[in-house]
Amino acid sequence: MKWQCGYRFASALASLLALGTALSLPAHAQNYPGKPVRFIIPFPPGGPTDILGRVVAQRLSEAWNVPVVADNRPGAGGNVGTEQCAKSPPDGYTLCMLSIAQTISPSIYSKLGFDPVRDFAHVTLLATLPSLLLVHPSLPAKHVKELIALAKIRPGALNYASGGSGTSSQLLMELFKLQAGINIVHIPYKGTGPALIDQISGLIEVAFSTIIAALPYLRIPLIVTDDSGGT
Does this model's pTM top 0.75?
Answer: no
DSSP-based three-state secondary structure for 228:
coil
pLDDT digits (tens, 9 = 90+) for 163-186: 888 888 999 999 999 999 999 999
Note the pLDDT of residue 231.
35
Cα–Cα dist 142/136, whole Å: 10
Note the pLDDT of residue 20.
40
Give me the CATH topology for the region 4-108.
D-Maltodextrin-Binding Protein; domain 2 (3.40.190)
H-helix or E-strand spanning residue 208:
strand 206-210
128 — pLDDT class (breaks 50, 70, 90): confident
Interaxial angle between packed helices 168-180 and 101-108, expressed in degrees from 0 to 180 and rounded to the nearest 10: 70
pLDDT digits (tens, 9 = 90+) for 31-82: 889 999 999 999 989 888 898 999 999 999 999 999 999 999 998 888 999 9
pLDDT digits (tens, 9 = 90+) for 1-33: 222 222 333 334 434 444 443 444 444 456 889
Instruction: Return the domain boundaries, the chain.
Output: 4-108, 131-225
CATH architecture of 131-225: 3-Layer(aba) Sandwich (3.40)
Answer whether 4-108 and 131-225 agree in fold. yes
